[in-house]
Structure 1
């Protein structure tokens, strides 16, 4: 729905003292000794809702889910995605409570610096930024590979150049443009997933060339697949299940974008909790149901599930359509994948630039990265992040492609490290509140099942981080070991190096800064979007 579909209702404005009101009438956050970046709260509720959805739905779902079926079978993949979904929900609950109380840009690094240890904020922030910068280069490369699906003669260098310019320039526009861009691209993703679910139900019920399918793939070749080991026993099937946990985690990464966008969201005390609360249902609907139906339509021993391609030929959606005798879907899915990749590239630059702003604010990055335009765009951070997208040109040479692959492997576990740090920061945040005798019942948003839920997420995130490279041990392969754990090694080096140089100490709970950036009072001027058309009401219901 566009802005023309909405009625804007403005709540009564309370009288405020001049020290808490900016020139344009917006609430000003309580500031500490250093001035906070002048970012603008221009993201509306519908923008944040779609960022929460679109940040998760990407190539991990459209392509990577096929590999999950191949490794663990339909039942193993389904259980794996549900289990990792609970971990993600624990992370979002932890993030929601902090981001609502202190809605600032670069929230992850700031929370770690304030509540746990400045060295943790430094190392987590830089490795997380690096993952977004390198992923931007990956997405630019993927655009060329996707377009080559239609014409193999085209050079990917052409599309790397074109889309680098487009995405980079887009991020120099006010943040409301980013929100609008993500809103419509996320809408395309949602329609595609919903369309596939309807298609899958019809095919499974007998609309395809093979008639009624039911749960036939669960019987032949089976519900669980052995992986890596020669046997077909329980251990081999458990190894497959554990491999799916890693794959599912990569697919879910991006859910935390809500926390990054909180610093530029209108009325964060109302809009951020609304996005957080619905995360679980989105995970259930878009991921779990999709994996379930793929498992019904495609047997895990289908060789195309393990394709290394980046275009539609590797998508389990397309493989399911081929098996059903539907020939028009591959081209359509490939077009959707192009939108998916462009949306991801746009989010890469946005997220990376805001993380840099947070690092600069905490003194962990050069101060010039805090500079913003009059419209609140951190142009220095955007330029610095976008420049790394040019590394995509390494793929034009064989040797450069090898280097590029290694750089990407450094970022592979950055999402899990970030999730673990968010859970850890929330545990420290709760201790800081308790040290000041601030009841959690007074918070704008109180997350559920705490602190047990945060400890649950922290434990399993750490477990996956340390076991995600287990394939290097079956059999032992030194190269694969370093590829799998180079990101963990880099994180430790960043942490220890910062600790030795800066001589930082762990932050006592009573000294944790829970004031800087905290809104002094509830926002009292906000826009309520009331859809008036059938189309608008549909999106309101979906979001």
Structure 2
């Protein structure tokens, strides 16, 4: 492994882009770097780290807080169907990414695959908007951490907590990646225990342990399994309740998508994972069961325990008082949970902030490797940490101080929308890259049966994911149309507009062509992994076998 760490950073092809202010170009030098490899980062993440990164990347405030708004918008059945449906889209993305990430596990995987198999402009625009979404989300999570602390000490200025947690989280990301993996392992473990505990709590309360007695599915009958949406804003919907209920279901698809974002962190971490051909598929295969257990069952029990017309579900705060878990506990007469849930939310937010800086910095490394960002971002410490990329990403956390200004809140709302829809755009691009990858393998005589991990139901499953993700991106701002609101329209579609501007601008500047399936690079970056695969496949001692079995 020591030899691997000495290899240079990477890039793609000859320089085609504009020079950056530091003198580097958008494409780097083909003579100085090996195309597509990721050996400047050290493979220190173990199987258990990757498993928990996959879990921790998804379970967050979207599930613990945002699911309450989903229940109020669509009703228990509408929210359940919406989360299950979006879960299937996420799974299609995960297996598609898993097939590529195990074959060529590179840093900044999304941008690398899009650039290699489809178009450099697609990798450029996708990578930058995805990085920007994570950098902005870091500021959002720092703000949320302050709001959660204010639940206990409401008189202290939120800016103090933003500053403290900015220093702590940023400093942690300059440590070896194994430290990040260890932190995420324990943070994600807290999330898992919380969800499992809530499911057990839900079973007991539904069976009659709470003050309301046996509940069953009475809230599905009244106020109803589906809730109409926008009936007050549109006469068409007010006169067509079935359509209004469908609109409520469709509105929750957006919320569900925001909740699932982060699952793709497995693909980012593949470039720093030991034995990726073994550990990445293991994490991918378990994604379906995580989605089923942690999201679908949680939404099911929230819909069983809380009536969808409960006014506390639409609370605008970010602390425990907004969580449907707390609302359910209060209805059941259990008063001790709010402080516990608020403490859990605190760890959830810190975990998310930690992941924001990690994933954003690795995406920057991938962009630089592909020639779409300055080459100084690939420089690493002796621990293999890309310190320039970490510092550049973390600096955007200082935007959290915008919340100290009343006028800054408007700008912050735009940042939130950019962050949210960027996830759907990235999922779509991953699917498109996978379709191109499958075609390239076919054209170059690489049978899919020989791949380390084979995605199921292909190519139809990826077509399914790409199609519905595009549909959601296009329609996610539908509330701006009923009635028409210009400000809401631009707020909802600013990320899509930014993505198109980045793509068209890069295409016009670089004049790069679409990648032919016969010329797509399916070789660079594989040799290193194949050597590790052979080395780790050799017989080991009995205690080594035990450790491998334990993960």
**TM-score when normalising by structure 2:** 0.91
Structure 1 residues 266-324: Cα deviation after superposition (integer angstroms, max 9, x where no partner) = 00000000000010000000000000000000010011111111000000000000111
User: In 2, are the aligned partners of 1:106 and 1:356 still within 8 Å (CA)?
Assistant: yes
Runs of 4+ displaced beyond 4 Å: 24-33, 526-532
Q: What does residue 79 of structure 1 align with?
A: 81
Q: Distance in 2 between matches of 1:31 and 1:380?
A: 17
Secondary structure of the residue that 2:212 maps to in structure 1?
A: coil
Q: Distance in 1 between matches of 2:416 and 2:306?
A: 30
Q: What does residue 248 of structure 2 align with?
A: 240
Distance 1:365 1:452, change over 3 A: same
Q: What does residue 395 of structure 2 align with?
A: 387
Q: CA deviation at 1:29?
A: 12
Distance 1:167 1:31, change over 3 A: closer
Q: What does residue 60 of structure 2 align with?
A: 58
Q: What does residue 114 of structure 1 align with?
A: 116
List aligned pairs for 1:471-486, cutoff 5 A. 471-486=479-494
User: In 1, are the aligned partners of 2:78 and 2:248 still within 8 Å (CA)?
Assistant: yes
Q: Distance in 2 between matches of 1:520 and 1:254?
A: 28
Structure 1 residues 500-521: Cα deviation after superposition (integer angstroms, max 9, x where no partner) = 0111111110011111112344
Q: CA deviation at 1:474?
A: 1.3
Structure 1 residues 342-361: Cα deviation after superposition (integer angstroms, max 9, x where no partner) = 00000000000000000001
Distance 1:153 1:487, change over 3 A: same
Secondary structure of the residue that 1:310 maps to in structure 2?
A: coil
Structure 1 residues 1-55: Cα deviation after superposition (integer angstroms, max 9, x where no partner) = xxxxxxxxxxxxxxxxxxxx75379999999852345100000000000000010
**TM-score when normalising by structure 1:** 0.92
Q: CA deviation at 1:524?
A: 2.2
2:499 to 491, 495, 498: 491
Q: What does residue 164 of structure 1 align with?
A: 166
Q: What does residue 342 of structure 1 align with?
A: 350
Q: Distance in 2 between matches of 1:103 and 1:407?
A: 31
1:420 and 2:420 are equivalent in the alignment: no
Q: CA deviation at 1:232?
A: 6.2
Distance 1:221 1:274, change over 3 A: same
Distance 1:310 1:509, change over 3 A: same
1:500 and 2:508 are equivalent in the alignment: yes
Q: What does residue 309 of structure 2 align with?
A: 301
Q: Distance in 2 between matches of 1:165 and 1:24?
A: 31
Q: What does residue 286 of structure 2 align with?
A: 278
User: In 2, are the aligned partners of 1:269 and 1:444 still within 8 Å (CA)?
Assistant: yes
Gaps of 5+ in 1: 1-20
Q: What does residue 8 of structure 1 align with?
A: none
Structure 1 residues 148-188: Cα deviation after superposition (integer angstroms, max 9, x where no partner) = 11121011111101100000000000000000000000000
List aligned pairs for 1:329-478, cutoff 5 A. 329-478=337-486
Query: How many pairs align?
Result: 516
Distance 1:27 1:493, change over 3 A: closer
RMSD: 2.1
Q: Distance in 2 between matches of 1:298 and 1:65?
A: 12
User: In 2, are the aligned partners of 1:30 and 1:516 still within 8 Å (CA)?
Assistant: no
Structure 1 residues 228-251: Cα deviation after superposition (integer angstroms, max 9, x where no partner) = 022462101000010111111110
The one of the two structures with greater contact order (alpha-carbon pairs below 8 A, sep at least 6) is: 1
Q: Distance in 2 between matches of 1:530 and 1:136?
A: 40
Q: CA deviation at 1:411?
A: 2.0
User: In 2, are the aligned partners of 1:208 and 1:324 still within 8 Å (CA)?
Assistant: yes
Q: Distance in 2 between matches of 1:496 and 1:102?
A: 28
Secondary structure of the residue that 1:144 maps to in structure 2?
A: helix
User: In 1, are the aligned partners of 2:173 and 2:358 still within 8 Å (CA)?
Assistant: yes
Distance 1:24 1:365, change over 3 A: closer
Q: Distance in 1 between matches of 2:190 and 2:502?
A: 39
Q: Distance in 2 between matches of 1:144 and 1:523?
A: 48
Q: CA deviation at 1:123?
A: 0.2
Q: What does residue 18 of structure 1 align with?
A: none
